[in-house]
């Protein structure tokens, strides 16, 4: 298992990648209590299948470029709910309808959220 710092670093990389492709409604949950092999779930919403695929691809690319190994990927062909498993970090990129339907926040409501930073775009004067 990776260190908590590594999981937090992976989370920040994934957040930055998701936001760069228009990911919305980002929520990170600490699931290490009920799931001892995983530290963090990151939930992200995209507004179309194309957007979901772009977000998932960018997250995957950035994490792999940083030396993290993808264990598994599911749902990329349909791009309605893409799951990216990087060991301690599992990313769920949802189409908005699936996010509402499956409501993982409700299922994992007892898990605390994990803080992360969202970089603000530079303003032009």
Q: How far is CA 62 from CA 49, 59, 111, in A?
A: 20, 5, 26
- Mean pLDDT (the chain) is 91
Instruction: Tell me how far apart the alpha carbons of residues 80 and 100 are, in angstroms, rounded to a whole number.
Output: 12
Q: Is residue 37 part of a domain?
A: yes
Q: Is residue 102 part of a domain?
A: yes
Q: Look up the CATH number of the domain holding residue 27.
A: 3.30.460.10
Are the beta carbons of 44 and 92 closer than 8 angstroms?
yes
For residue 101, the model assigns a pLDDT of 95
Q: Is residue 124 part of a domain?
A: no
Q: Is residue 47 part of a domain?
A: yes
8-state DSSP, 87: S
Domain containing residue 48: 4-107
pLDDT for 27-75, tens place per residue?
A: 999 999 998 889 999 999 999 999 999 999 999 999 999 999 999 999 9
Provide the domain count of the chain.
1
For residue 121, the model assigns a pLDDT of 60
Residue 1: pLDDT above 70?
Answer: no
Q: Is residue 61 part of a domain?
A: yes
26, containing H or E segment: strand 24-30
Instruction: Tell me how far apart the alpha carbons of residues 76 and 93 are, in angstroms, rounded to a whole number.
Output: 10
pLDDT for 64-83, tens place per residue?
A: 999 999 999 999 999 999 99
């Amino acid at each position: 298992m990776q260190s908590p710092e590594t999981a937090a670093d992976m989370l920040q990389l994934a957040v930055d990648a998701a936001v760069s492709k228009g990911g919305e409604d980002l929520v990170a949950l600490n699931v290490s209590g009920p799931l001892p092999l995983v530290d963090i779930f990151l939930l992200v919403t995209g507004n179309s299948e194309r957007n979901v695929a772009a977000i998932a691809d960018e997250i995957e690319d950035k994490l792999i470029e940083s030396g993290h190994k993808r264990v598994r990927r599911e749902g990329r062909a349909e791009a309605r709910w893409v799951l990216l498993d990087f060991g301690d970090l599992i990313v769920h990129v949802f189409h908005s309808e699936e996010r509402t339907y499956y409501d993982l926040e409700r299922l994992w409501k007892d898990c605390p959220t994990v803080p992360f930073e969202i970089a603000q775009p530079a303003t032009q004067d």
